[in-house]
Amino acid sequence: MNSRQPIPVVVLAGFLGSGKTTVLNHLLAHRAGTRIGVVVNDFGSIEIDAMSVAGQVGDSMVSLGGGCLCCAVDGSELDAYLEKLAAPEHRIDVIVIEASGLAEPQEMIRMLVASENPAIRYGGMVEVVDAAEFDATRSRHPETDRHLAVADLVVLNKTDRVDADERARIEGLLATLCAPGIPVVGADHGRIDPELLFDRRPWTETRGQLSFEDLLAEAEDHGHDHSAHAHAAYESVEFASEQALSPRRFIDFLDRRPAGLYRIKGFVHFGVPGHDEKYEVHAVGRFLRFSPQPWGRGEPRSSQLVLIGSGTDGPGLLRELGACREEAPHELGPESMWGVLRYVAQPARPARPEAETADAEADAPTRAEPAPEPDAEYEYGYEPEV
Burial of 136-160, coded b for 16+ CB within 10 Å and e otherwise, reads: ebbeeeeebeebbebbbbbbbbbbe
* The predicted structure's pLDDT at residue 160: 94
* The predicted structure's pLDDT at residue 44: 54
* The predicted structure's pLDDT at residue 205: 46
pLDDT exceeds cutoff 90 at 168: yes
Q: Is 368 exposed, middle or buried (0-12, 13-18, 19+ CB in 10 A)?
A: exposed
Of 260, 306, 317, 305, give the one whose Cα is nearest residue 279.
305
> How many CA atoms lie within 13 Å of 311's alpha carbon, on the beta-carbon side?
9
Compute the distance between CA of residue 156 and CA of residue 191 in angstroms, rounded to an integer.
11
Helices 78-85 and 105-113: angle between axes, nearest 10 degrees: 50
Whether CATH 3.40.50.620 fits 234-341:
no
Residues 111-156 have pLDDT tens digits of 888 888 889 989 999 999 999 999 999 999 999 999 999 999 999 9
Of 314, 307, 201, 198, give the one whose Cα is nearest residue 263.
307
Residues 219-235 have pLDDT tens digits of 444 444 444 444 445 77
Alpha helices (H) along the chain? 20-29, 78-85, 105-113, 134-140, 144-149, 164-177, 212-221, 247-255, 314-322, 338-341, 354-363, 376-379
Superfamily of domain covering 7-199 = P-loop containing nucleotide triphosphate hydrolases (3.40.50.300)
Compute the distance between CA of residue 14 and CA of residue 144 in angstroms, rounded to an integer.
8
pLDDT exceeds cutoff 50 at 240: yes
Q: What is the mean pLDDT of residues 336-360?
A: 65
* The predicted structure's pLDDT at residue 271: 96
Compute the distance between CA of residue 134 and CA of residue 270 in angstroms, rounded to an integer.
45
The two beta strands, 94-98 and 36-40, are parallel
Judge whether 126 and 10 are in contact, CB under 8 Å: yes
DSSP 179-199: PTT--EEE-STT---GGGTSP
How far the first Cα of the chain sits from its last, in Å, is 38
Query: Are 7-199 and 234-341 in the same CATH fold?
Result: no
Q: 33-37, 49-53, 175-179, 301-305: lowest mean pLDDT where? A: 49-53
- Going from N- to C-terminal start, the domains of the chain cover 7-199, 234-341
Q: What is the mean pLDDT of residues 179-190?
A: 89
Amino acid at 170: I
Neighbouring-strand partners of residue 125: 11
Compute the distance between CA of residue 144 and CA of residue 135 in angstroms, rounded to an integer.
10
Alpha helices (H) along 191-239? 212-221
Residues 24-66 have pLDDT tens digits of 888 888 888 888 888 876 555 544 333 333 333 344 454 545 5
Mean pLDDT, all residues of the chain: 76
Of 26, 25, 31, 27, give the one whose Cα is nearest residue 44.
25
Compute the distance between CA of residue 191 and CA of residue 23 in angstroms, rounded to an integer.
6
Of 82, 89, 76, 75, give the one whose Cα is nearest residue 61.
82
Judge whether 195 and 231 are in contact, CB under 8 Å: yes
